[in-house]
Chain A
Amino acid sequence: MIERSFQAMGGTVELTLLDDTDAAAEHIEDLFQEYEHRLSRFLPWGELAALHRAAGSPFAASRILFDAVSQAVEWAGVSGGVFDPTVIDALEANGYDRTFERVAGGTAVRERRRPFAAARWANIALDPVARTITLPPGVRIDVGGIGKGFTVDRAIQALGADANAIVNASGDLYAAGNGPAGDGWYVGIADPHDPVRDLAILRVRDRGVATSGSTGRNWALGDHRYHHLIDARTGESAASDLLTATVVADTATHADLLAKTAFLLGSEEGLPFVERFGAACLAVTGDGTVLMTGRLKDYLA
């Protein structure tokens, strides 16, 4: 068994490979570095920054960036605009205009609010034949909401169809195969009220698991606390009744997107929304109540 961890995408990536070699682990580490270079909004020399500079004209994108942007835009439509990858202006206006390590370190500054325009994702033109992306002038796209899950899925694909492995990018993960004992992989769900403890333990095979919420990337500016999940209707940090939403889905990308959408919708709409996609959700509200969709019991260890 190979266990390895490294830094990428603003956090720690952990690999557990049962039937693979060190070369496979090194390949996945390289894969994460390349995807970060293409998808991060914090790298001025990265491909996403080049796409932003080309706004208004068709941009010939790599397969990685094209696929990530395509999935982000597609999901914006599926979620009815609840998940909106074009809210960078709002994120930056709230102070998240640099890597989170620097924001959390107290260097955030709330900018003078610019007029907020939602649903600009609908005007992004994608040409799959020419593999070009055309952003409307002045529009930028943030694939950070999809990037880790998306890269985890690509890493698992790189390991092959018979992989018996976990790839975990800062809590967004995919567990492939039957695990070391043949009965699946055991995944703890951190308790947002006491993150060193597990709220529940899942047993999964060939499933993506992701958690989103307001307890991770949040920061204080003056008398207010902000977090990175933006309500596309207001441009402000979403006032969800949930602290966290954990989703089990067929891919890490879908788990990541569904967890974010469930959080943004709140408990009443969010959990039924997850169920419509055949996925399972465990959510924790601000008062500590735990909510579960019926399908989650299939995964409880």
Chain B
Amino acid sequence: MKWHKNLGAKLTVLTASLIALVGGWAVIRQNPPATDASTTAPVEPIQAPATTTRTTVRPPVQVTRKTHTRTHVS
């Protein structure tokens, strides 16, 4: 009868695991990972080694610092 007792304990553990698995799945389904958000978030500039070219968004115009001179297309 000992194996019956062990079988009952194992069934209890198995049932509890199934309940936890189904419950977890339900929670995930209701709260899916925010994968879509990354497609609309601002894209960070690519960080590249100093020896390569990197692309960035237009930097903010700096109007507060006084410059001594300017370079421009002549």
Contact = CB atoms under 8 A, between A and B. Distances in A.
Given A199-B59, A201-B65, A294 B54 contact: yes
Contact of A197 (B49, B53, B57, B61): B61
Most chain A beta carbons < 10 A, residue from B49, B53, B72: B72
A156 to B, nearest CB: 14
B67 to A, nearest CB: 4
A301 to B, nearest CB: 6
A159 interface: no
Contact of B53 (A185, A188, A195, A271): A271
Nearest to B49: A294
A292 B68 CA distance: 22
Interface residues of A, number: 54
A215 B73 contact: yes
A264 to B, nearest CB: 14
12 contacts: A148-B74, A168-B71, A171-B70, A185-B69, A188-B71, A201-B65, A210-B71, A213-B73, A217-B74, A275-B52, A294-B52, A295-B50
Interface of A: 10-11, 14, 16, 148, 166, 168-173, 175, 179-180, 185-192, 195, 197-201, 209-217, 244, 246, 267, 271-272, 275, 288-295, 297, 301
